Amino acid sequence: MASTREDEAYDDEPIVITGVGLVASAGMDRESVWRAVRDGRSCVRRLSGLRGLPDGKILGATVDMPAEYPSRLKVLPMAEMAANEAVRDARLDLDAIDRDRFGCSISSHMGDASWLEEQAGLKVPNDPGRTPWWQQWLPNSTCIHIANKLGSTGPRYSYSTACASSLISFMSAVRALREGQCDVAIAGGADAIDPLFVAGFQKMRVLAEHEDPNQACRPFDRNRSGFVIGEGAAMLVLERLSHAQQRAARIYAQVLSCRALADAHHVTGLDADSEALSYLISSTLRSSKLRPRDVGYVNAHGTGTQQNDLVEMRSIREAFGPAADQLCVSSTKSTLGHMINAAGGTELAITVLAMRDGFAPPTKNLTDPDPELSFDCVPMVGRRNQFQNALKLSVAFGGHLVAVALSRWNDAASGFSYPPEAKVA
């Protein structure tokens, strides 16, 4: 299916999402994960076997991989499962597309640090095959692995921007499609719980603790104390509209705008008085040709740390103004944990499914809202909300701020249609 439009301008052609794949602690496929998020059902437990860390002290939302996906570097099989599901969901025939016009943009991840652990005198599980050096030291190993598995010979990108990595990788895929570098792309990210990462977060005192692990992460709650680390993968298939229509694809949503800015303050801290995030939200709405009242749902970064939540609460209110009173905002990290490099992509996928079903997922454990919380964060129980437009935010260490605006594809023939009588917010 070679392109015949390589000399034409692509900037104005809509970019659409046609496939979604998910793996997380709450399920090994898209619909299982989405049902758990809808129900506010998490699978957080006390972890053991993290080399160099005491058993039972760290909380985590882990993925139990099936035996048919053996891999010491756990991130690879999780990414492969999500990518395969996304391609199936998009009904994308890989033999029928031009592989040179098939892009791959998948975020970086933590590598294998077993050699370093051995040098530090830590006990490392027996691994007769040894992890290949490129998986140990190349943070783009997942991108390489998935692109090679799918036969993608189009543009290939992998970004390392902390917990905005997979959202920026998604943005990079959108840009490649708009520039005419490819016709279709797979984008997202994956990450696994790693002892080195956990030790760093523990040293920073950003990890939540609670006698009940499933109540530990409390975004926007007065008693929040940090995040619970999670793992998983999310992949999305993106296409130029003409390519999707040519193969009669089913469409979830149109990507209206992707934008990034920086909070130039501190490596891990945010400036509570900064206007960077509110400006990013406003500029993303403007570039999407959306008014604040046109947006029905925001999937927040929502880590459950004191500082992040405060900045998000203030910025959302400032950017949306009076329209924030009608807005549904939620943090799904309260259910799935913080997947670090995979967080933004996973939560964007959840936002797509929320749009599909017209349902705003809840913020779990939000029982005592912060006094500064001045809008609806969908506490404890999700609700029906047939919204047309949504926003996904990522606020990452290093000052990386990202926003993606989506619009639901309402077409009975090619998308998911609400009932004719339903009101769309």
The full DSSP string for 10-69 is -TTS-EEEEEEEEEETTBSSHHHHHHHHHHT----EE----TTS-TTS-EEE-----TTS
What is the pairing mode between strands 184-191 and 229-230? unpaired
Closest CA to 146 of 96, 110, 189: 189
The residue annotated as part of the active site, out of 143, 163, 258, 377, is 163
Is the pLDDT score of 204 beyond 90? no
Q: Is residue 301 among the annotated active site residues?
A: yes
pTM summary value = 0.92
Residue 118 CA to its chain's centroid (Å): 33
Give pLDDT tens digits for 337-396.
Answer: 999 999 999 999 999 999 999 999 999 999 999 999 999 999 999 999 999 999 999 997
pLDDT score, position 425: 45
> 351 is in which domain, residue-wise?
257-408
> Of the residues 227, 246, 265, which one is the last residue of a structural domain?
246
The residue annotated as part of the active site, out of 217, 338, 377, 400, is 338
* E strands, 263-307, in order: 295-299
> Same domain for 210 and 133?
yes
> Same domain for 206 and 319?
no
In which element (H, E) is residue 320 found?
helix 306-320
What is the pairing mode between strands 102-106 and 156-157? parallel
> Same domain for 216 and 312?
no
CA atoms within 13 A on the CB side of 262: 9
> Same domain for 223 and 285?
no
> Same domain for 178 and 83?
yes
> Of the residues 222, 246, 270, which one is the last residue of a structural domain?
246
| Tokens representing residue 116 in the block | 């370093």
Asked if residue 425 is part of any domain, the answer here is no
Q: Is residue 109 among the annotated active site residues?
A: no
> Same domain for 37 and 150?
yes
> Same domain for 296 and 241?
no
> Same domain for 239 and 262?
no
Q: Is residue 210 among the annotated active site residues?
A: no
Rounded Cα distance between 425 and 417, Å, is 14
Rounded Cα distance between 401 and 255, Å, is 18
Give pLDDT tens digits for 237-273.
Answer: 999 999 999 999 999 999 999 999 887 665 455 566 6
The residue annotated as part of the active site, out of 143, 301, 377, 400, is 301
Contact 327, 425 (CB under 8 A): no
Asked if residue 276 is part of any domain, the answer here is yes
